[in-house]
Structure 1
């Protein structure tokens, strides 16, 4: 078991059995806190005592972070128990990343704050501007002193946070060099110079501190610029390359909760005098949901391995992962809601309320750190690089080792983050040679779906290469971007079939990959003959895994 998985397992054991009164995050508290929209302070404090925040700070600044896989796995464990707790604590990771990327004085000042467990937030969005951060109105004026004027809303931990990395305007014109980042440590500020906006009443993560802050000429120390003046947008775009894949840990935790609910339902439910698990239609539907959970897991973990090992590809990979993982888990929840029926909307019945809460919470992940449209647009911007990369031939053995979740990883070098990749995704470009490495004696159903997937990727690359470049992409561009994200998900599954030194028993079978690639091909517009049989077979394998007391996962040591 790799260090990241071992550390996550330590956290899981520390959290305890969620059904026990001795657990740190108890199922009963998860429901009651949500009903009261109450902030889970006791759970957050307990995570600080364990030292979760050390995984948010790079080694060079006194923490334990070498890449994002370790904090991802830890946040996933928390999210499967209560996504509100994960969002409340994990925001400090997101809020601090710009400082790590910039380095210098701001990073040195922020590191001990994060390590102390004090919350840190990220002040990007403003009321009425949505995702258009280029039109940020909050400004930073220098008239002998450095002052922030304006407001940020809605912001996670805006009220509870001790510090905030605030995106501000330092030039009047709209342009890429008009914005800067300022570290506002509230312990250094005059409390009379800023005020909070009320907590937003949200549909999901109801207990989280989603609020806002208004700065009224708030004076900050002169050395609190994060990086250079005018480099704010640049820093944000680079930081998003780390925060976007990390956010998918929330989706994975949500998927764990949904899979558990479906497995319990098919095991215990009887219909028409028969067990639900014995009905062919139910087995097919459940298997398709399990396939979606495994697609999300494969894509998120392979994406995380890119961060330190293929850092210069993260401008594209982060957008691919952030689009496809939440979208896949959203589909899983839609299907699970129909499958569970009325039970999906009820509380107080054998954990049904936990599913209902998780379904609400899960919907917010897709809008964190760039919504689906923003990420698809980022993918469109990479079409030229993807086309260029498709003409190259990656070294497959080296690539597989870099993406193997159980293999040693390089230490993340923030200076290797780029705003545009040179050659797209090595993994997508390597689909054909990776297929050539598969064993010739693979099962016929697996060979059939691989053939369909390879053909779909070839057509996709032709579409990427031929579509005209434009400053205003249309529906065709976004459809290609969506298929490219699905192709990356399928390629991630192939990579783990070929090399996964942390493989679970389930991952050692091709059953999961057959079902997963069938789902991917369907979403790429190439449905696979016999897909239903592969879903039913995965359902049987998942049930056997569940009955052995182990988790439906591709990785040994992962427990849910």
Structure 2
């Protein structure tokens, strides 16, 4: 599908929802805030998504849906998250996370059944979590056991989106009591046809962010499990989940940038209209620098997510690295950018009414979105055991970068669910781009210095990671190992920005790279005036109705 088609679908959805910040829009901020205050899903917004047929976005095209490229899905869902993150998480993402397990390992019949459900605007729910075990799926205790001539499912899952209104569950369950990674299998459960009392919804959880999200637990009590309800080969559930995570981590990260986009619009409107010290607030140098920093963070997040989305199609066997890197990086940068914008808004960042009233909801929602599906630590733990092989096989420049990763808008091959792999086996064809670019003649002294710094950081990481002992590659490793992962993620993000924007104004590229501090530093270098004004100019083009000329 072409980039024009992607933009067209997103534009149609945006038109249905209308401008969130338009006070005359019945689906605007006043209605979204009212639903949030009631801790309810935004019902009228859900009806609009039903009319649009959002469920079709989660269904592969060969099964009658509209899912051809992950970049397309992100483009459409950014609109939803930008309007109301609770709609994004509660209406769509829950179904998509569950469905990816079926697309990854399900039978033809299961794929057809789930596709039909989503095309009819049905809802799926994912039952992974057990509070006692956190992110450790291998320790999950909800189990399928023999019972008479068949099998039954017993146990309790927690914190499930749409638990009370799901048309089907994908339940991660133990199918063997043996220790190790071959003891679990995802199970497809239909609560609408379940024998009475075998699928029991537990009381709802109340949350600070995503207040309307219908979260609850579910208890399974001798629920029958026919053979055709097991998804994939028995015992391969952990592998199925980890492969599916590669798609969902990227998708959720890309979608969540819509939230920051809206927060930036709110702030731009406010500072453009508010006067202070004899002029518009936006003309104050400090304010301009803070706006430019938040905008640069947004562009970095979008770039990293979009490159990762293309990587799933182009280098699927290596997708575990960009997937985990993207989820870790984007959640952190979105939080940082929102903090900067809150400082610009001051007291207006926490008022709960008026046009800026939606900002405080976005801040609360962002904290929840950051841990929906996987925490940042869980993403680090995906990369941690792969550090040695990555350092030895790729970080010295032997892996050839894939230029198609940066050709945004170009048609992609179908999403190869069957070629996703738990480990990249040491192959990283994105990050070593910084080594090649450091050898090129950069036209700008500032950019040349920054690219050289990124290349030097990767070389340092290669030297240190190549000899890490096994004890430092486990979840129980010390803080230093996790810090190495964080440093690597910043370098790979820098590679994505260089590859995507290197033919643009070098001042612009250097500003983006400066938002990714190296060598474990926590603070970014401040922009100079030229970088700030380049970014403000770009914002004017992107937000013509929110930022005056």
Q: TM-score range by the shorter chain?
A: over 0.9
Q: Which residue of 1 aligns with 2:509?
A: 513
Q: Which residue of 1 aligns with 2:411?
A: 408
In the TM superposition, what whole-angstrom CA distance separates every residue of 1:358-379 from its partner, at most 9, and x where no partner exists? 0000111221222011111111
Q: How far is 1:103 from its partner? A: 3.0
Residue 12 of structure 2 is aligned with which of 7, 10, 13?
A: 10
Distance 2:238 2:543 in 1: 50
Q: Which residue of 2 aligns with 1:503?
A: none
Distance 1:444 1:277 in 2: 30
Q: Which residue of 2 aligns with 1:505?
A: none
Distance 1:537 1:456, change over 3 A: farther
In the TM superposition, what whole-angstrom CA distance separates every residue of 1:112-136 from its partner, at most 9, and x where no partner exists? 1111111101110013221122111
Question: Is the CA contact 1:347–1:356 (under 8 Å) kept in the aligned structure 2?
Answer: yes
Secondary structure of the residue aligned to 1:390 is coil
Q: Which residue of 1 aligns with 2:481?
A: 477
Distance 1:338 1:515, change over 3 A: same
Distance 1:182 1:23 in 2: 42
User: Normalised by the size of structure 2, how large is the TM-score?
Assistant: 0.92
Which runs of 5 or more residues in structure 1 are unaligned?
500-507, 553-560
Distance 1:24 1:55, change over 3 A: farther
Question: Is the CA contact 1:2–1:407 (under 8 Å) kept in the aligned structure 2?
Answer: no
Secondary structure of the residue aligned to 1:216 is strand
Residue 360 of structure 1 is aligned with which of 350, 359, 364?
A: 364
Question: Is the CA contact 1:199–1:211 (under 8 Å) kept in the aligned structure 2?
Answer: yes
When the two chains are superposed, the root-mean-square deviation of aligned CA atoms in Å is 2.3
Distance 2:165 2:53 in 1: 19
Distance 2:527 2:453 in 1: 12
Secondary structure of the residue aligned to 1:428 is coil
Q: Which residue of 1 aligns with 2:435?
A: 432
The alignment covers a number of residue pairs equal to 539
Which runs of 5 or more residues in structure 2 are unaligned?
none
Would you identify which runs of 4 or more consecutive aligned residues in structure 1 move more than 6 Å? Answer: 526-530
In the TM superposition, what whole-angstrom CA distance separates every residue of 1:199-244 from its partner, at most 9, and x where no partner exists? 1110011111111111111124331111111111111111111111
Distance 1:543 1:305, change over 3 A: closer
Residue 117 of structure 1 is aligned with which of 113, 121, 134?
A: 121
Distance 2:523 2:201 in 1: 51
Q: How far is 1:460 from its partner? A: 2.6
For 1:264-343, what aligned pairs fall within 5 Å after superposition? Answer: 264-343=269-348
1:69 aligns with 2:65: no
1:541 aligns with 2:544: no
In the TM superposition, what whole-angstrom CA distance separates every residue of 1:441-463 from its partner, at most 9, and x where no partner exists? x3333333323333223323323
Question: Is the CA contact 2:185–2:231 (under 8 Å) kept in the aligned structure 1?
Answer: yes
Distance 1:117 1:23, change over 3 A: farther
Distance 2:252 2:241 in 1: 15
Question: Is the CA contact 1:138–1:169 (under 8 Å) kept in the aligned structure 2?
Answer: yes
Secondary structure of the residue aligned to 1:197 is strand
User: Normalised by the size of structure 1, how large is the TM-score?
Assistant: 0.91
Q: How far is 1:412 from its partner? A: 1.1
Question: Is the CA contact 2:17–2:45 (under 8 Å) kept in the aligned structure 1?
Answer: no
Question: Is the CA contact 2:487–2:518 (under 8 Å) kept in the aligned structure 1?
Answer: no
Question: Is the CA contact 1:148–1:215 (under 8 Å) kept in the aligned structure 2?
Answer: yes
Secondary structure of the residue aligned to 2:172 is strand
Distance 2:187 2:404 in 1: 39
Question: Is the CA contact 2:56–2:65 (under 8 Å) kept in the aligned structure 1?
Answer: yes
1:219 aligns with 2:224: yes
Q: How far is 1:527 from its partner? A: 7.4
Distance 1:135 1:301, change over 3 A: same
Distance 2:539 2:370 in 1: 29
Distance 2:21 2:251 in 1: 27
